Structure 1
Amino acid sequence: MRKNYAVALSSAFLLWLAWPPMPFTSPLLLGAFVPLLFAVDNILATDLKRKGKTIFNLCLATFFIWNTSCIYWVFNSLHAIMPWYVAIVISLIPFGLAAILMTFAFWLYYRLRKVTTKWLSYAGLISFWIAYEYLHQSWDLAFPWMTLGNGFAQFHQLAQWYEWTGVYGGTLWILLSNILVLETYYAFKAADLKKGKNYFIGSMSLILVPVIVSLVIYMRYEEKSDPANVVVVQPNIDPYEKFGSIPSSQQVDHLIRLSDSIGQPNTEYFIWPETAIPAEVDEKRIRDNRDFLTVQNFLAKYKNGNVISGIESYAIYDTAKTETARFDPNSRLYFDSFNAAIQIENSAKVDFYHKSKLVPGVEQTPYSSALGFLKPAFAAFGGTTGGYGRQKEASVFYSQSGIGSAPVICYESIWGSYVADYVQKGAQFIAVVTNDGWWGNTSGKDQHLDYAKLRAIETRRWVARSANTGISAFINQRGDVVQKTKWWVPAALKQDINLNESLTFYVKHGDYIAFAGCLGSGVFLVLLVVGQFKRTKQKIPVMKGPL
């Protein structure tokens, strides 16, 4: 049994080694699951009485180690504001939740192996895994950071076909490749040269054809010329000091100085990071706000200039108009607080976008009706005790000159389908405003930047990324990082980006592979239940004669 654990845990090492921001190791994903699948087969071949429990524990250990080694930075951000032992306990939620869901996909695969053929079981494994990934981007505990298709974010030259499939195409490719590599090994081990040759050709074709297609697309892809000058600003303000310690007006002045240092007469957009305007602002009274007036005064010299900035805002209601509205006993009114983006221009027009994909715990209480008692603990991590308000769907900012931009706030940039919604509604480039300073100088900030490259490929849109402490960057339509800043330095970058109005297949059709996986998982669950019923029925002795 120890040997099986050693073999399975080598999958955890390979998966970690292949994951961003490791450079050029992504192809390891195409074989990283082979040791784990091999270990599961070894257990199936034994006479253990509790194989299911053994396989569950084996997979859980593998996936927990992989997840923890890749998103360890969650602990860093918690440890900065609470004792280490409390931070460890809370970190176990993101470390362990995805690992448990991954393990259930493999456990269901094991159950299928008991009632049906190996290849149907493989199809079930793929369906269960994709269904888990879709669940983990859709429920209140959503954290799709470790979606398998994200693994090619660093080596994006191999993922150009994501413009057709999105990241779920990468997930499907990885799982299929691992299965064929394993079956190739089994065929040659059994000295079945004919089958081994066929499997070898099949697995190599499955691996090499997408790689070749992707590289050809990458080398031949040409952007249509439709330039717009954009500036991204990195103020580099300590996230633990920006709320309260440093006056909002001082922060805005700093942002303006950086913007003005490289702005030019034809600059269309200045992009500032998440919560760059930190003072809570009443949205209905924004035109009287001092920071707003300061920004408008700055824009006076830029004829077509617009500022997209993160902002802390709120709205006041006479009644509880939204599910997240809270009651203020002093004013006897209701209100919502928002992690928002604002567009300011040289006119009275003002646009707000309220972040939709909220971070569980930090920005919203998951399943608040059941977990409301945890709100004070979540508030200690910079969230709000009642949770932020949100809007239900993406909305596009339009400039005075008609340019459509996608105001994507931080965590939202890891949802391919959500970013695609902006593009369907007219966004010609993607503006990511984020604050990755909470995580410190860890791989979290690098992974977040790498994932933005996939959004550029899926939508064929430039990404202008403004991060409070870094890494700010410009990413072109092929996913290349054209310019980027260093970590933890004040900086500003400018770039002529090409706008794009055409829609990719993925933008038009969304996560169709995920929907197929969910449908397939339903079919295989039915097959599992029916098969298990038949097995149980066969084991029941038939009673003959009088009772």
Structure 2
Amino acid sequence: MKQNYLLALLSAFILWLGWPPIPYSSVLLLIGFVPLLVAVENIIRGDYRNKGRKIFWTAFLTGFVWNTASIYWVFNAMNAQLPAWISLLIALIPFGLAPLLMATAFRLFYAMRRTQNIRISFIGLVSFWIGYEYLHQTWDLAFPWMTLGNGFANFHQLIQWYSVTGVYGGTLWIWIVNILAFMFYWQYKHKVQAYSQKALLSITLAAAFMPILISVIQYISYEEPINPAQIVVVQPNIDPYQKFGSITPEEQLENLINLSKSVAQPNTEFFIWPETAISARGGINEEDFREYPSYARIVDFLSAYRNGNVLSGIESYALYQEAQTPTARPFGPSYIDYFNSSTLIDGSTKLQYYHKSKLVPGVEQTPFGTVLNFMKPFFEHFGGTTGGYGKDTEPKVLYAQSGIGVAPTICYESIWGDYVAEYVGKGAQFIAVITNDGWWKDTSGKDQHLAYAKLRAIENRRWLARSANTGISGFINQKGDITQRTEWWVPAALTQEINLNDDITFYTKYGDLIAYLGLLGMLFSVVVIYIPKNKKIN
């Protein structure tokens, strides 16, 4: 087994090397699982007891090392507010949960291999893997950061066809090439030829390079529709751990306005400010926001820009006479909901809000609320609220007076391809990401978050404007190129003329079709596992 564990670690190392933020190494993902597949096949064909258990823990080793090496920054984010040992225990949830699901996919693959041939079993493995990824973007512990298709974010020239498939196309591509490469290697090593080696090599190379060729042609030939709009993004650089200790909300607002003015042009249409940029102690009552001095100051600022709008993060709340939502809690004679929100202010009396929907498990919502209700006071200690934040149930496009629609995605939401596509399907002509990446400090977390935004631009063929408080702000065009970006941990503002787009891509219209096919394949595979047959390992 020692050799198999070493192979598992080799896979983890290759997958880590191929993962963002390491530039131009994404092609390594196309062979990253080959050593693990060899280890699994060694166990299947070897003289071992409890083969299923050994395969599970071998696959878990790969997933755990790769996952932890890629998202180590989760520990950094928690360690700033909690004792190190508690932070480590909490970090073990994202470090270990996805690898457990990955290992389960391999364990089910082994169950299929006991009764099915290797071709059918590999279809099952890919289906189980896609099923794991889909689960990990939909349940209460959702954290789709390590979805395989995200791995090409730093080499976006290779995956322009995400405008058709989304990231699950990348997942499927990675698995097809890995499986073909494994089969070629296995036959070569063991001097067997169940399939023609020449044909297998040709198919493997075609599977690897044809998508690249198609993508490069798309990248070179794609032309944006000309529909210009002038946008400003602002990075105020307020330390999130010292937000009210080092600067007052009024001082923060003046800082935002001054940075905006430093690059604004008379025809600027959007000023985009980061997550929670507009704040007050205790939050801002959405119903009464027009009566706050901060609202009057923003309207006064916008008076110099005829078509100007401010799209900003805001810490807000709503009051109800009765509990209207599951997250509302008693507040005197009323009920209150707190929100991590975005708002669009256009200089008129109209106000638009969107409440962040994809909430961070534990920090912004209690996962499986009724079951883990007892943990709410604990989660409050690292950024959450005792009842969890309220949220909108679906994406909401915010519109300027001129009719321009923007997708106001907030932080974590930008890693959901299907969710961002819903904004675009509802009329968003460009995507805004308002975030605060300072929680992760100067780690690869901020770089991965920026890189993943390129995938959303490609999937929907929309410009993306990113305003990060202490992360990296910038602009991404419809091909996924970063046209401008700020440095880390510096106050800055950037302006860019972008092209609005009304065209709808195949992915925007139809979403994650590959994921749905994978789920069907998973159901088929589960049924096949329980069909009695003679043992068939080949």
Superposition TM-score, scaled by structure 1 size? 0.96
Deviations along 1:389-421, whole A, 9 cap, x unmatched?
Answer: 000100101111110100000000000000000
Q: Supply the AA of the counterpart residue of 1:33.
A: F
Give how far 1:244 is off. 5.4
Are the equivalent residues in 2 in contact too, given 1:162–1:457 (CA < 8 A)?
A: yes
Shift in alpha-carbon separation, 1:194–1:117, aligned structure 2, 3 A = closer
Matched ranges for 1:146-185 at <5 A: 146-185=146-185
In the aligned structure 1, how far is the partner of 2:109 from the partner of 2:506?
31
In the aligned structure 2, how far is the partner of 1:9 from the partner of 1:282?
52
The yes-or-no answer on 1:289 pairing with 2:295 is no
The yes-or-no answer on 1:213 pairing with 2:214 is yes
Matched ranges for 1:101-116 at <5 A: 101-116=101-116
Give how far 1:335 is off. 1.0
Q: Supply the AA of the counterpart residue of 2:371.
A: A
In the aligned structure 1, how far is the partner of 2:360 from the partner of 2:195?
52
Query: Which residue number in structure 2 is paired with residue 262 of structure 1?
Result: 263
In the aligned structure 2, how far is the partner of 1:238 from the partner of 1:32?
38
Q: CA RMSD in A?
A: 1.3
Are the equivalent residues in 1 in contact too, given 2:73–2:440 (CA < 8 A)?
A: yes
Matched ranges for 1:230-241 at <5 A: 230-241=231-242
Give how far 1:85 is off. 0.9
SS in 1 for 2:406: strand
Matched ranges for 1:347-386 at <5 A: 347-386=348-387
In the aligned structure 1, how far is the partner of 2:53 from the partner of 2:515?
28
Query: Which residue number in structure 2 is paired with residue 94 of structure 1?
Result: 94
Query: Which residue number in structure 1 is paired with residue 131 of structure 2?
Result: 131
Query: Which residue number in structure 2 is paired with residue 542 of structure 1?
Result: none
Q: Supply the AA of the counterpart residue of 1:98.
A: A
Q: Supply the AA of the counterpart residue of 1:296.
A: V
Percent identity for Structure 1 against Structure 2: 58
Give how far 1:47 is off. 1.8
In the aligned structure 2, how far is the partner of 1:370 from the partner of 1:310?
31
Query: Which residue number in structure 2 is paired with residue 410 of structure 1?
Result: 411
In the aligned structure 1, how far is the partner of 2:396 from the partner of 2:90?
33
SS in 2 for 1:522: helix
Query: Which residue number in structure 2 is paired with residue 57 of structure 1?
Result: 57
Give how far 1:99 is off. 0.6
Give how far 1:251 is off. 0.4
Query: Which residue number in structure 2 is paired with residue 545 of structure 1?
Result: none
Which is further off, 191-200 or 410-419? 191-200
Give how far 1:266 is off. 0.2
Are the equivalent residues in 1 in contact too, given 2:38–2:186 (CA < 8 A)?
A: no
Give how far 1:187 is off. 2.8
In the aligned structure 1, how far is the partner of 2:244 from the partner of 2:316?
13
SS in 2 for 1:343: strand
Are the equivalent residues in 1 in contact too, given 2:399–2:406 (CA < 8 A)?
A: yes
The yes-or-no answer on 1:309 pairing with 2:335 is no
Deviations along 1:282-335, whole A, 9 cap, x unmatched?
Answer: 11101101111111110010010000000000001111111111112xx22111
Are the equivalent residues in 2 in contact too, given 1:303–1:346 (CA < 8 A)?
A: no
Q: Supply the AA of the counterpart residue of 1:292.
A: Y
Which is further off, 51-60 or 489-498? 51-60
In the aligned structure 1, how far is the partner of 2:128 from the partner of 2:295?
49
The yes-or-no answer on 1:187 pairing with 2:195 is no
Deviations along 1:170-190, whole A, 9 cap, x unmatched?
Answer: 000000110001111123332
Query: Which residue number in structure 2 is paired with residue 543 of structure 1?
Result: none
Are the equivalent residues in 2 in contact too, given 1:356–1:390 (CA < 8 A)?
A: yes
Which is further off, 242-251 or 418-427? 242-251
SS in 2 for 1:368: coil
Matched ranges for 1:301-450 at <5 A: 301-328=304-331, 331-450=332-451
Q: Which 4+ residue blocks in structure 1 deviate beyond 2 angstroms?
A: 186-189, 191-194, 243-246
SS in 2 for 1:339: strand
In the aligned structure 2, how far is the partner of 1:443 from the partner of 1:158?
22
Give how far 1:529 is off. 1.6
Give how far 1:5 is off. 0.6
Give how far 1:246 is off. 2.3
Are the equivalent residues in 2 in contact too, given 1:304–1:346 (CA < 8 A)?
A: no
Shift in alpha-carbon separation, 1:141–1:119, aligned structure 2, 3 A = same
Give how far 1:243 is off. 3.9
Query: Which residue number in structure 2 is paired with residue 541 of structure 1?
Result: none
In the aligned structure 2, how far is the partner of 1:118 from the partner of 1:172?
17
In the aligned structure 1, how far is the partner of 2:192 from the partner of 2:243?
66
Query: Which residue number in structure 2 is paired with residue 495 of structure 1?
Result: 496
Are the equivalent residues in 1 in contact too, given 2:279–2:315 (CA < 8 A)?
A: yes
Q: Supply the AA of the counterpart residue of 2:72.
A: Y
Give how far 1:193 is off. 9.9
In the aligned structure 1, how far is the partner of 2:375 from the partner of 2:70?
26
In the aligned structure 2, how far is the partner of 1:418 from the partner of 1:92?
27
In the aligned structure 2, how far is the partner of 1:363 from the partner of 1:414?
16
In the aligned structure 1, how far is the partner of 2:187 from the partner of 2:531?
31
In the aligned structure 2, how far is the partner of 1:33 from the partner of 1:178?
6
Which is further off, 186-195 or 382-391? 186-195
Superposition TM-score, scaled by structure 2 size? 0.98
Give how far 1:8 is off. 1.4
Q: Supply the AA of the counterpart residue of 2:310.
A: V
Q: Supply the AA of the counterpart residue of 1:289.
A: Y
Query: Which residue number in structure 2 is paired with residue 300 of structure 1?
Result: 303
Which is further off, 257-266 or 191-200? 191-200
SS in 1 for 2:337: strand
Deviations along 1:483-512, whole A, 9 cap, x unmatched?
Answer: 000000000000000000000000000011
Give how far 1:236 is off. 0.3
Deviations along 1:208-249, whole A, 9 cap, x unmatched?
Answer: 000000001001111111100000000000001114552111
SS in 2 for 1:277: coil
Query: Which residue number in structure 2 is paired with residue 544 of structure 1?
Result: none
Query: Which residue number in structure 2 is paired with residue 41 of structure 1?
Result: 41
In the aligned structure 2, how far is the partner of 1:32 from the partner of 1:434?
32
In the aligned structure 1, how far is the partner of 2:420 from the partner of 2:205?
33
SS in 1 for 2:374: helix
Are the equivalent residues in 1 in contact too, given 2:461–2:505 (CA < 8 A)?
A: yes
In the aligned structure 1, how far is the partner of 2:187 from the partner of 2:223?
44
Deviations along 1:430-477, whole A, 9 cap, x unmatched?
Answer: 010000000000000000000000000000000000000120010000
In the aligned structure 2, how far is the partner of 1:160 from the partner of 1:453?
10
SS in 1 for 2:53: helix
In the aligned structure 2, how far is the partner of 1:118 from the partner of 1:194?
12
Q: Supply the AA of the counterpart residue of 2:523.
A: G
